[in-house]
């Protein structure tokens, strides 16, 4: 049985990713945050509310681990074709080229979504495990899943622009160096200019702005991250499918 | 019936460099067309235009009558390609690699078994591609090109990197391909010997221009034969033969005297032999032979002027 022409590239991409190191990356990044939180809880002297642990996890994720994971994941997804020089074979096939690139976009977005969910799930797991070891540190208050899922969802949506830029660069250049340089550079400026008001317009800081207390920052970063992200994604698809790979 | 491949004034510039210069070629249906040229002559650029990977600066190309510029996808349905960079995923098995392309082409699963059988790779199909030899990768590449049984196969240097046994296998395989599958094969190579033994038609590309094209047998038959000779004094033998009106060139194993069109090769050989002996030049071997593809190639495809100064050996085998 063959998949429909629209879904075939997506299934093919998923099969390639499934046999790559993407799965390891998808587990490793959230695990590191969970391990960090686990020891943070154990170091505590008094119980803290669930909200604080979740915000901690969301902060580390949005601030540093998400940009770095996106850098690594997009480079990995692009290098699956750059490495064995598969582009000529793929681009010579009788199907619209944009579908090949769109399949990569969907897969990367899906993996980042899974990682975001994994961060939340592993946060719960790590804190619960630490509390089981030291019951007196059991977090106070309820674990408000809908609230926290909403926060991680907004972080994810605000990251779309960053993902689009990273994936575009990674697919455009056969060497992984430009993609890594952009990712590391973006994360660096995001870290050193944390408190800059202009950060709300900086793609690598848009996710972390979802933790801001000022509503305009959240709305601006979310609107730009998602809206511009979609525009850049469409632009990237158009550019990549039209350009000649010499 | 339209030609399997036809180009009209196909041209491609890279900034100021004219890589392919107004190439008009015709690959007849069910031919094995040897596309010859030195490295950098423009073969790969032409093939990339035929596959729709790069756009021509001018001109057009048709595959089975479908204009690639107007309907790339329609034309791509008619072509299977084996490119120099195979693009296999080393961590997947041969069968899995084929299955990815099969899925993208929307073909039935049974198609994988069919093409594996054609290239005699069924027993190795479950091994990871990273464990394959170069010859096995080439055969897997051919299998992938044949998925969906396209009427045209474009093969870029399919014998590159193969050992002599692999080359012989590939040659046998390619020769039989039109009969076994009904496909037309466009075969790019710089190995003249390979093309001479495999192709039914040739096109020679030199500095971006198609300088010769036609049915190989006819091209060779149309040219006057030549006399190959080995003597103990090549310089004197050359001077003597030239004095008798022959066009003499050095060859790998002695000298070659070109005959004028219509001249009888046997009579000319006997006369030259007699003259050499009378001039006290020892003749080790002399005999008429038909022109080789290498001879034709040398005649129509001179090296680039800068390369000629350094006198590099052309990449013949």
Number of residues that this document lists for chain B: 317
Residue of A nearest to B54 (CA): A244
Tokens 């509503």 found at: A215
Specify if B296 maps to a domain: no
State whether B10 and B50 are in the same domain.
yes
Check CB contact under 8 Å for B48 and A88: yes
Specify if A2 maps to a domain: no
Specify if B311 maps to a domain: no
Specify if B130 maps to a domain: yes
How close is the nearest chain A Cα to the Cα of B152, in Å? 13
Specify if B52 maps to a domain: yes
Q: Please give the helix or strand (H or E) that residue B155 lies within, else none.
A: strand B152-156
Check CB contact under 8 Å for B100 and A15: yes
- Measured CA to CA, the distance from residue A215 to residue A29 in angstroms comes to 29
Check CB contact under 8 Å for A16 and B89: yes
Specify if A138 maps to a domain: yes
Nearest to A9 among B53, B76, B104 (CB): B104
State whether B113 and B169 are in the same domain.
yes
Check CB contact under 8 Å for B88 and A84: yes
Q: How many distinct structural domains can be found in chain B?
A: 2
State whether B181 and B37 are in the same domain.
yes
Question: How many other C-beta atoms are found inside a 10 Å radius of the C-beta of residue B253?
Answer: 11
Last residue in a domain, options B214, B237, B264: B214
Q: Where are the alpha helices (DSSP H) in B67-147?
A: 72-76, 94-105, 110-118, 134-145
Specify if A186 maps to a domain: yes
- Write the DSSP string, A157-175: HHTHHHHHHHHHHHHH-SS
Specify if B310 maps to a domain: no
pLDDT bin (cut points 50, 70, 90) of residue B191 is confident
Domain span at residue A190 reads 8-242
Tokens 């692999």 found at: B166
State whether B59 and B160 are in the same domain.
yes
Mean model confidence pLDDT for chain B? 87
Last residue in a domain, options B173, B190, B214: B214
Q: What is the pTM of this model?
A: 0.85
- Measured CA to CA, the distance from residue B216 to residue B195 in angstroms comes to 10
State whether B232 and B114 are in the same domain.
no
State whether B152 and B94 are in the same domain.
yes
How close is the nearest chain B Cα to the Cα of A234, in Å? 21
What are B33's strand-pairing partners? B186, B201
Residues B144-167: pLDDT tens digits? Answer: 999 999 999 999 988 877 788 878
Check CB contact under 8 Å for A95 and B54: no
pLDDT bin (cut points 50, 70, 90) of residue B306 is low
Specify if A1 maps to a domain: no
B100 touches chain A (CB under 8 A): yes
Tokens 């650029």 found at: B45
Nearest to A88 among B53, B76, B100 (CB): B53
C-alpha gyration radius of chain B: 23
Q: Return the percent helix, strand and coil in chain B, to nearest 5.
A: 40, 25, 35
pLDDT bin (cut points 50, 70, 90) of residue B312 is very low
What is the phi-psi region of residue A120: left when phi exceeds 0, alpha when psi lies from -120 to 50, beta otherwise?
alpha
At B185, list the tokens: 């094969």
Specify if B305 maps to a domain: no
How close is the nearest chain B Cα to the Cα of A98, in Å? 13
Check CB contact under 8 Å for B54 and A244: yes
Residues A81-92: pLDDT tens digits? Answer: 999 999 999 999
Residue of A nearest to B99 (CA): A12
| pLDDT at residue B266, rounded to an integer | 83
- Measured CA to CA, the distance from residue B153 to residue A45 in angstroms comes to 72
What are B262's strand-pairing partners? none
Residue of B nearest to A96 (CA): B73
- Name, in order, each residue with C-beta under 8 angstroms of B182's C-beta and a sequence gap of 6 or more: B30, B149, B151
Specify if A3 maps to a domain: no
Specify if A142 maps to a domain: yes
Q: How many distinct structural domains can be found in chain A?
A: 1
> Residues 49 to 68 of B: which have CB under 8 A from any A CB?
51-55
Cβ atoms of A239 and A223 within 8 Å: the answer is no
- Measured CA to CA, the distance from residue A86 to residue A76 in angstroms comes to 14
Residue of B nearest to A8 (CA): B104
How many residue contacts between A and B have a Cβ separation below 8 Å?
83
State whether B166 and B242 are in the same domain.
no
Least confident of A117-131, A179-193, B259-273: B259-273
Domain span at residue B275 reads 224-289
pLDDT bin (cut points 50, 70, 90) of residue B304 is low
Specify if B303 maps to a domain: no
Specify if B245 maps to a domain: yes
- Name, in order, each residue with C-beta under 8 angstroms of B52's C-beta and a sequence gap of 6 or more: A91, A92, B68, B72, B75, B76
Nearest to B107 among A2, A9, A92 (CB): A2
Q: Which residues of B touch A87 (CB under 8 A)?
A: 87
Burial grade of B72 (CB within 10 A; 0-12, 13-18, 19 or more): buried
Cβ atoms of B198 and B171 within 8 Å: the answer is yes
How close is the nearest chain B Cα to the Cα of A156, in Å? 30
Specify if A111 maps to a domain: yes
Nearest to A246 among B54, B89, B103 (CB): B54
Check CB contact under 8 Å for B85 and A88: yes
Is this prediction's ipTM beyond 0.90? no
Tokens 């158009």 found at: A238
Check CB contact under 8 Å for A93 and B101: yes
State whether B163 and B94 are in the same domain.
yes
Q: Which residues of A touch B100 (CB under 8 A)?
A: 12, 15-16
At A216, list the tokens: 């305009």
CATH number at residue B228: 3.30.70
Check CB contact under 8 Å for B87 and A90: yes
CATH number at residue B39: 3.40.50.300
- Measured CA to CA, the distance from residue A23 to residue A141 in angstroms comes to 34
Question: How many other C-beta atoms are found inside a 10 Å radius of the C-beta of residue A121?
Answer: 13
- Measured CA to CA, the distance from residue B173 to residue B198 in angstroms comes to 9
Tokens 């039109």 found at: B178
State whether B252 and B273 are in the same domain.
yes
State whether B41 and B154 are in the same domain.
yes
Nearest to A93 among B91, B105, B108 (CB): B105
Minimal CA–CA distance to A164: which of A190, A186, A147, A143? A186
Specify if A29 maps to a domain: yes
What are B231's strand-pairing partners? B283
Answer yes or no: is pLDDT of B307 > 50: no
Cβ atoms of B162 and B82 within 8 Å: the answer is no
Check CB contact under 8 Å for B87 and A89: yes
Last residue in a domain, options B157, B180, B214: B214
Residue of B nearest to A88 (CA): B53
Residues B201-244: pLDDT tens digits? Answer: 999 999 999 999 999 888 877 776 788 889 999 999 999 988 88
pLDDT bin (cut points 50, 70, 90) of residue B269 is confident
Indicate the SS3 state at residue B249.
strand
B134 touches chain A (CB under 8 A): no
């Amino acid at each position: 049985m063959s998949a429909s022409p629209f879904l075939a590239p997506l299934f093919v991409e998923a099969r390639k990713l499934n046999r790559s190191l993407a799965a390891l990356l998808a587990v490793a990044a959230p695990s590191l945050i969970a391990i960090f939180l686990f020891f943070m809880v154990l170091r505590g002297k008094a119980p803290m509310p669930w909200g604080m642990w979740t915000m901690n996890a969301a902060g580390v994720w949005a601030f540093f681990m998400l940009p770095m994971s996106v850098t690594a994941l997009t480079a990995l997804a692009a290098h699956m074709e750059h490495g064995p020089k598969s582009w000529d074979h793929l681009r010579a096939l009788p199907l619209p080229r944009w579908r090949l690139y769109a399949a990569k976009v969907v897969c990367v977005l899906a993996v980042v979504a899974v990682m975001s969910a994994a961060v939340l799930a592993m946060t719960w797991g790590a804190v619960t495990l630490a509390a089981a070891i030291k019951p007196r540190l059991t977090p106070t208050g309820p674990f408000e899943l809908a609230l926290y899922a909403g926060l991680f969802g907004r972080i994810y949506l605000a990251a779309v622009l960053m993902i689009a830029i990273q994936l575009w660069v990674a697919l455009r250049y056969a060497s992984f160096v430009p993609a890594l340089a952009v990712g590391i550079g973006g994360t660096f400026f995001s870290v050193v200019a944390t408190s800059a008001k202009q950060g709300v317009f900086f793609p690598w800081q848009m996710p972390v702005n979802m933790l801001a207390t000022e509503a305009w920052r959240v709305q601006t970063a979310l609107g730009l991250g998602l809206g511009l992200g979609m525009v850049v994604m469409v632009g990237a698809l158009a550019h990549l499918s039209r350009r000649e790979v010499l | 019936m339209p030609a399997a491949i036809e180009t009209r004034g196909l041209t491609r510039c890279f900034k100021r460099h004219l890589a392919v210069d107004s190439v008009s070629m015709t690959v007849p249906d069910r031919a094995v067309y040897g596309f010859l040229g030195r490295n950098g002559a423009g073969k790969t650029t032409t093939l990339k235009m035929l596959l729709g990977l790069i756009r021509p600066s001018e001109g057009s190309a048709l595959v089975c009558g479908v204009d690639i510029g107007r309907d790339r996808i329609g034309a791509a349905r008619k072509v299977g390609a084996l490119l120099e960079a195979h693009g296999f995923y080393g961590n997947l098995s041969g069968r899995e690699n084929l299955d990815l392309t099969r899925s993208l082409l929307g073909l039935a699963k049974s198609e994988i078994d069919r093409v594996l059988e054609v290239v005699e790779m069924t027993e190795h199909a479950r091994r990871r591609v990273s464990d394959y030899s170069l010859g096995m990768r080439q055969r897997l590449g051919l299998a992938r090109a044949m998925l969906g049984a396209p009427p045209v196969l474009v093969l870029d240097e399919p014998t590159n990197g193969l050992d002599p046994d692999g080359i012989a296998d590939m040659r046998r395989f390619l020769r039989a391909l039109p009969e076994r599958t009904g496909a037309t094969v466009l075969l790019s190579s710089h190995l003249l010997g390979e093309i001479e033994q495999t192709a039914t038609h040739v096109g020679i590309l030199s500095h971006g221009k198609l300088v010769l094209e036609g049915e190989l047998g006819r091209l060779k038959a149309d040219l006057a034969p030549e006399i190959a000779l080995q003597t103990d004094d090549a310089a004197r033998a050359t001077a003597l033969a030239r004095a008798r009106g022959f066009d003499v060139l050095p060859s790998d194993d002695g000298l070659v005297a070109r005959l004028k069109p219509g001249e009888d090769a046997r009579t000319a050989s006997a006369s030259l032999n007699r003259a050499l002996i009378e001039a006290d030049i020892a003749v080790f071997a002399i005999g008429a032979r038909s022109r080789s593809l290498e001879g034709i190639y040398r005649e129509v495809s001179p090296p680039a002027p800068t390369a000629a100064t350094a006198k590099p050996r052309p990449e013949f085998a």
